[in-house]
Structure 1
Amino acid sequence: MIRVVLTAAINPQSNYRLFLTDPDERARQYGTALRKWCAWADGVADARIAFVENSGADVEELIRQHIGDKPSHLDVISAPRPPQYAIERGKGASESMMLDLFAREFTNDPDDTLWIKSTGRLFVRNLSDILPEERPANLVMARIALDLNHVDARLYGASAGAWREVFTGMGDEVDEKDDFRVEHVLARRVCRAVGEGIPLVRFEGQPVVDGISGTWKGRKYGGVKSYAKRKVAGVVDYALRDKLRNKHY
């Protein structure tokens, strides 16, 4: 089974490093992405979607407006508002708390269930294409920088057993005002997992993302500029995963 978890804060509590703060616009983007994710899950055997929201917004109404009847493969989790200390640490801390709740909600998922996290306002058009068909039962899956200091927090995953061990409790380590974001915490956790014998499995290509950045004003995913960057990065990505796989840097 594949379970994709989407994190959402329709009424964001922290505005630090966040330019997209309008609740109506955020709700529209969450609804659009959720509709696409549910359509994706319709075509993938044994796929489920979990939508976790932490601002008290009416998610059922969001579903009615953008999808209609709630699909059977969609689970909605209403998370409590984050405590003040988490808000002060930045949105990555609050998101990490949502993911901890997600992990507790699905304790019955077998350890080899693949859990994939995506930012809730974004949709990854080619997720099915970049997930490796053959993968170990215990793994972490991430796009990590060459200096091992930064992981793409928009899209990462792990087997459920590894997730419970590696990706829980990250919120206390995030401090965005000190420029230590969740991307940095993820990198440390991934490196620690590899050191403990949990294999790092790469996505088999660059993700094709629909949506816009909520952090960086004007950054639109899926546009011409993004396409050009992805094509160039894809060549490098392929080389690193293929002929240069065992080269030292």
Structure 2
Amino acid sequence: MLIDRCAHASPWRRISPAAKGLFALAALLGAYLAPSPGLALGLALGLVLLTLAGARVPLPDYLGAAAPALGFLALGCASLLFSLGGPGGLAPRFLPEALDPAARLGARSLAALAALLFLVLSTPLPHLIALLRQLRCPEVLLDLMVLCYRMLFVFATVFRDGRTAQAARLGHAGARRSLRSLGLLAAGLLPQVWLRALELHQAALLRLGDGPLRFLAPSFPRARQELAWAAAGSLGLLLGLGVLA
């Protein structure tokens, strides 16, 4: 929900998703082929600044969207730098020879993460789905994405209504009562979301499953011009990193 809110609030949502997708793809390629960790980190920093300043994503929201991936990346790098075993039994042992691989992995992963966040934090999911449909992505996959996207809002609505009802009855007055209310809310969410999903499934059956889910595609009047600018920027990015040199 955080990512979707940032994408809809960004002024770059009006830019063609094909242009942003092309630039993000070039950034991913540059992250993978960056000849040194320093260049990869520079690419990551540039993409972060572009997302914050250009797409106008607030820094707290950006950090919130990146936090799960950063935590996973930190664990991955730590698993390369430390090993369990040796004379001390299961004590962690630092591996100096793993510094260079860990630095390359961390820098490239940060640049790839920044490229993906640039795309998703400035492009609403319906625009991405329309782009994937133009790229001939399988319709079954797109329908699953649409249904999962819809169920996120259903889950958020049910959670917000339940929490509001609990707060009106002073269900969060005190730590003990808050913990009990949280348990009751979690237990009540499952049947409600299940019923909403069943209603959605029944609505799909009434359509007789005749073809994929269709929506009005967004219009981007300057799509060709924006795609040309994105292609020029992508080429300049790769040349600047020395990937195509």
- TM-score, normalization by structure 1: 0.28
> Which protein is richer in helix relative to its size?
2
> Which protein is richer in strand relative to its size?
1
- Bigger relative CO (Cα 8 Å, ≥ 6 apart): 2
- TM-score, normalization by structure 2: 0.28
Q: Which has the larger radius of gyration?
A: 2
